[in-house]
Structure 1
Amino acid sequence: MDWTLEVVLLPVTDIDRSVAFYRDQVGFDLDHDTRNEQMHVVQLTPRGSGCSIVIGDLPSQREMAPGSMRGLQLVVADAAAAREELTSRGIECSEITVFDERDGGTFFGFADPDGNTWAVQQITARGERPLIPLDARQRFGAEQEG
């Protein structure tokens, strides 16, 4: 039986500000933004990922301190290009560090407006062999929006 990690709850202070950061600056896809009298929940997914982040005001999220998530990890095929993309969108990033010359040993990081931190790891094989093939990336929300 497969057990897949598909959602990580991310504690933030301002949902709309965080949507703007993750969608417009980091480049995550907005899957849905659901508001009603009980809740406001937003799901965003990095391109090519099977795992999304959910920001909102669900009871479990209200128990978490905004900015308390540390070291969430993204993987890219080219760390220098990814860092340039983020810095060109106004995101402050750490310098690229090579911990190991082998593939997978190169990293940089950034934080969201609340202080949740992200590590970005370079694995060059992701450029040729993405974890989710391009033809399998149609998400339920994207099908509905049309």
Structure 2
Amino acid sequence: MLAKMNIGAIVFYVSDIDRTEAFYRETLGLDLNRMPGEPGESGGADWLMAGMANGVSLIFFQMPGKQGDSPVPVFELAEGGIEAIVEGLASKGVTIVPPVSHAPDGGLTADFADPDGHTLSMYQAPDKPR
């Protein structure tokens, strides 16, 4: 089901977005973009994105998390259809946490767990069919 998809992003949950921005920008030299959060989603908090080689993005959200929650690989759904894919995974007994919801940029996202409880995620751009 996900075999022909690319990893579009790797998501990190961080405790302090300003400290994270300073470290990745000043210490590691990454070109970070500070993005405004969507009202109502994650409290509308800003988040960070750094484009890397081969189209993979590093994304940083300020939110509570326990060790092992992060990073989260994100499969990019170039063709859309996130709801059908989530339904297909659920029908195979995959734990979906949370269901399809809005991403900070207005797209759609859904997380699911592997058998060891590792979080994996899917992302669909705002202009793709549900």
Which TM-score band (shorter chain)? 0.3 to 0.5
Higher strand share: 2
- Using the size of structure 2 for normalisation, the TM-score is 0.39
Q: Which has the larger radius of gyration?
A: 1
